[in-house]
Amino acid sequence: MSASHDDHHHGPAKGLTRWLYTTNHKDIGSLYLWFSFAMFLLGGTFAMVIRAELFQPGLQLVEPNFFNQMTTMHGLVMVFGAVMPAFVGLANWLIPMMIGAPDMALPRMNNWSFWILPFAFAMLSSTLFMDAGAPNFGWTFYAPLSTTYAPSTVTFFIFAIHIMGASSIMGSINIIATVLNMRAPGMTLMKMPLFVWTWLITAYLLIAVMPVLAGVVTMMLFDIHFGTSFFNAAGGGDPVLFQHVFWFFGHPEVYIMILPAFGIVSAIIPTFARKRLFGYDSMVYATASIAFLSFIVWAHHMFTVGMPIAGELFFMYATMLIAVPTGVKVFNWVATMFRGSMTFETPMLFAIAFVVLFTMGGFTGLMLAITPADFQYHDTYFVVAHFHYVLVPGAIFSIMAATYYWLPKWTGHMYDERLGKLHFWLSFIGVNVLFFPQHFLGLAGMPRRIPDYALQFADFNWISSIGGFLFGASQLILLVVVIKCVKGGKKATPQVWEGAQGLEWTLDSPAPYHTFATPPDPKLIHAQ
Amino acid sequence: MRNESPAASTIRIVKRLLLVVVGMFGFGFAMVPMYDVICDITGLNGKTSGRYAEAEPAPVEDRKITVQFMAQNSEGMSWYFEPNDPQVTVSPGEVKVVSYKVRNPNAFAMVGQAIPSVAPNEAAQYLMKLECFCFQEQPLAPGEEVDMAIRFFVDENIPEKITKLTLSYSLFDITDYEISGDEITAR
């Protein structure tokens, strides 16, 4: 491009300060995604320690207390560091391009909401190097384990959670303001891509429950340092109260981690089935229903805590009700594929694996919802298998699918399809070998969060650990694919995929630094 | 569509969302009293409902209910703490006095606080305490031993299916806490 007087308005600034000062949604999206991948590797390393210790019975590698620190840090880093920032990164990159907006509504706040995250996780991770050790009370940090009996580093944990919460809340406000206010003319709500819809609803969930999380850690802070007794029975408090407040946040939180995944899969499957998405309207309503139901089912995490029978029945039925809108979604995806001209590029493979394996995770969720059965499953590896099935081949596979799907749009190059497929198949096999045997372990009675176990659990743990190492190592392929794709490769066309629909595919590949400075032609906006 | 600039509209949306954030932060804290009220009404979690201050009832002789007593020290509490009678049988409405023996075996003064819990949970609201050592904190001098009394009755409205209930006390060491007596009367 020939030099012109306004060159500096078009390209990004140079050097490190570009990334520090950037208010560009694409830059911030990339920052979020790279940060999330770094956290994915960090949390994965913790998981490898866990699986290595559980490789055989007995204590081989780590002290039980350090094992507990690993399970806690693995959960916290994966939930708040890997999955959530990855979705925010995708939202930053994609939502403005999908709705024909030039940028996010609040670009400076966008910069801030990203840049406080590395500090939060540096603070949290620094506890690993302190004498008292990292938090060791599980990612659910039940009181009084996290108050009366917590290591002194719990305060670092509390402030890290505060910062992560602030980041999520700012990100959500930004997304809602962008979606409500910055849509191109002609982009009515019911023409928005489902990824935008699911993120809009997710953002509402976030601003509703992240403050509750901030509240509960604040109560912990007061109990620990200022002599209050929110959760201290000796002073008139109640530890069970903690569980209610925590899960009032915690259950919507699990939908925060899956709704954007629904949006991603709803974008990818129509592309590679070369058909319009089946049942767009029902997808929107199903998402909204799931979001509503997420607020009234929290106590199914605590069936064994002691509840009146009416309460147990209410939470059981309400939980089972969630299977209805979720089933609507699964059937819609299957119906979209039905008689489609399907091809199986890497994003599609991840998306199909998502549909199958997430559904399996959903079914074990239904099993756990059955109150009387839950008394057996509670706090066993069955629960671990369940939520890893919905989070790893669920949320994380969808993030990987999204990465492969939009990578040509971001970098302007096609990724290495052969390596992508290799990454998929190793991940797919690895994740099943890793988590499927854990169902059996749980049903046989192996409790979660233990560094050692009875001998009869040895074989399945051995298999599970092998799967874990395979899955963990395979993720390095993703890193190679992405770096190769950033550096070069076959030039991507604007549409990239033959069946891709939507405004982002009308842009050049790579997407220019500034897009939709003038709104797109309304004729380009189609009903979904 | 409102007739306003995009910037003004964004500010309006952000203000509303910030209100939601502040409101939900407050709601998190509001769950604390809400929880206490719900537990008080339903007797959830085996919480008993404080001092019974009304007129003492008349016994209903046609039913017998066994009340068992348990004592346990919470972690770090070193007192001897046992019920003098492991169980008593009462009629609904019959006022009974039982006691726990407690001794501080240490060479230093300590303050304890007993927290009650009733099983089954739904029986909690029918256990009426006229007097209880759990209503106040319990300071003990080195080596001091006392009998701590409870005067209670079982409400006659207790469901027929409940024939046995357990009153369990956990004893907490609150020597280092500064909890005023007023705060812990709601037991």
Quote the pLDDT of residue A337.
96
Looking at CA atoms only, how far is residue A369 from chain B in angstroms? 21
- What would the two tokens of residue A388 be? 């890893």
Res. A67: pLDDT tops 50: yes
pLDDT for residue B178? 56
Residue A77 pLDDT exceeds 80: yes
What CA–CA distance (Å, rounded) separates B92 from A183? 69
Tens digit of pLDDT for each residue in A24-65?
A: 999 999 999 999 999 999 999 999 999 999 999 999 999 999
Gap between the Cα atoms of A8 and A272, Å rounded: 39
CB within 8 Å of A374: residues ≥ 6 apart: A300, A303, A304, A368
User: Which of B13, B173, B177 is facing A181, going by the closest CB pair?
Assistant: B13
Least confident of A304-313, B48-57, B58-67: B48-57
pLDDT of residue B156: 86
Is A313 in contact with A371 (CB distance < 8 Å)?
yes
Does residue A308 have a cis peptide bond before it, meaning omega lies within 30 degrees of 0? no
Is the pLDDT at A414 greater than 60? The verdict is yes
CB contact at 8 A, B17 and B100: no
Q: Which among B13, B27, B184 has the least Cβ separation from residue A180? A: B13
* Residue A160 CA: distances (Å) to CA of A41, A213, B134: 19, 12, 38
Q: Do A389 and A364 form a contact (C-beta atoms < 8 A)? A: yes
Q: Which residue of A has its CA nearest to B171?
A: A234
pLDDT of B181 strictly over 60: no
pLDDT mean over A496-504: 93
Domains of chain B from N-terminus onward? 1-42 (no CATH), 46-184 (2.60.370.10)
Q: Is A238 on the interface with B (CB under 8 A)?
A: yes
Is the CB of residue A324 less than 8 Å away from at least one CB of chain B?
no
B117, B122, B126, B131: CA torsion to nearest 10: 10
**pLDDT on residue A10:** 62
**Chain A residues whose beta carbon lies within 8 Å of the beta carbon of residue B35:** 238, 241, 244
H helix runs in chain B, sequence order: 6-42
A17-30 pLDDT, tens digit each: 899 999 999 999 99
Lowest mean pLDDT among A7-11, A92-96, A352-356, B162-166: A7-11
pLDDT at B173: 87
* First-to-final CA distance of chain B: 56
Does A1 have pLDDT greater than 50? no
d(CA A363, CA A445): 19
Question: CA-based diameter of chain B, in Å?
Answer: 80
Q: What residues of A act catalytically?
A: 74, 103, 139, 167-168, 251, 253, 255, 266, 300-301, 326, 329, 448
* Helix, strand, coil percentages in chain A from 3-state DSSP, rounded to 5: 70, 0, 25
Question: Average pLDDT, stretch A476-489?
Answer: 96
Answer for the pair A136, A171: CB distance below 8 angstroms, yes or no.
Answer: no
pLDDT band at A7 (very low <50, low <70, confident <90, very high): very low
Work out the pLDDT band at B62, boundaries 50, 70, 90. Answer: confident
A232, closest residue in chain B (CA to CA): B172
Confidence of residue B53 (pLDDT cuts 50, 70, 90): confident
pLDDT of A3 above 70: no
A372 — contact with chain B (CB < 8 Å)? no
B44 chain-A contacts, CB cut-off 8 A: 306-308
Topology given in CATH for the domain delimited by A33-524: Cytochrome C Oxidase; Chain A (1.20.210)
Does residue A8 have a pLDDT over 70? Answer: no
* Edge-to-edge strand ranges of the sheet holding B164-173: B87-90, B65-73, B164-173, B110-119, B138-140
Where in chain A are the domains? 33-524
As given in the structure block, the two tokens for residue A13 are: 């600034």
Q: Name the pLDDT band for B179 (thresholds 50, 70, 90).
A: low
> Any CB–CB contact under 8 A between A444 and chain B?
no
Q: What percent of chain A has pLDDT over 70?
A: 98
Answer with the residue of higher pLDDT: A308 or B132: B132
Checking if the pLDDT of A331 tops 90, the result is yes
CB A259, CB A291: distance < 8 Å: yes
* Chain A residues in contact with B46 (beta carbon < 8 A): 306
What is the tens place of the pLDDT at every residue in B74-110? Answer: 888 889 999 998 999 999 888 989 999 999 999 999 9
Determine the 3-state secondary structure of A445 from DSSP: coil
Could you tell me how far CA A331 lies from the centroid of its own chain? 22
- Most distant CA pair in chain A, distance: 75
Residue B182 has pLDDT above 80, yes or no: no
**What pLDDT sits at residue A274?**
95
Q: What pLDDT is attached to residue A6?
A: 45
Residue B164 structure tokens: 């046995």
B17: contact with A, CB 8 A cutoff: yes
Q: What is the pTM of this model?
A: 0.91
Judged by CB atoms closer than 8 Å, whether chains meet at B122 and A308 is answered as yes
Bridge-based pairing state of the strands B87-90 and B65-73? antiparallel
* Lowest-confidence region among A6-15, A413-422, B9-18, B63-72: A6-15
Q: With an 8 Å Cβ cutoff, are A212 and B9 in contact?
A: no
pLDDT in tens, A252-307: 999 999 999 999 999 999 999 999 999 999 999 999 999 999 999 999 999 998 88
CB contact under 8 A, A211 and B18: no
Whether residue A89 has pLDDT greater than 50: yes
Query: How far is the alpha carbon of A503 from chain B, nearest alpha carbon, in Å?
Result: 21
Two structure tokens written together for A494? 């604007």
State the smallest CA–CA distance between residue A105 and chain B in angstroms.
7
- Rounded CA-CA distance A291/A299 in Å is 16
Reported as a pLDDT band with limits 50, 70 and 90, residue A527 is confident
Q: Chain B contacts of A177, Cβ < 8 Å?
A: 10, 13-14, 17
CB pairs under 8 A between A and B: 110
Q: Give per-residue pLDDT as tens, B116-139.
A: 888 888 888 888 888 888 888 889
Q: Give the model's pLDDT for residue A99.
A: 95
The encoded tokens of residue A357 equal 């394996």
The residue count of chain B comes to 187
Contact B45 A233 (CB under 8 A): no
Number of helices and strands (H, E) in chain B? 1, 9
What 8-state DSSP symbol labels residue A393? I
Contact A181, B9 (CB under 8 A): yes
CA torsion, ordered B39, B40, B45, B48, to nearest 10 deg: 170
What is chain A's alpha carbon radius of gyration, rounded to the nearest angstrom?
23
pLDDT higher than threshold 50 for residue B184: no
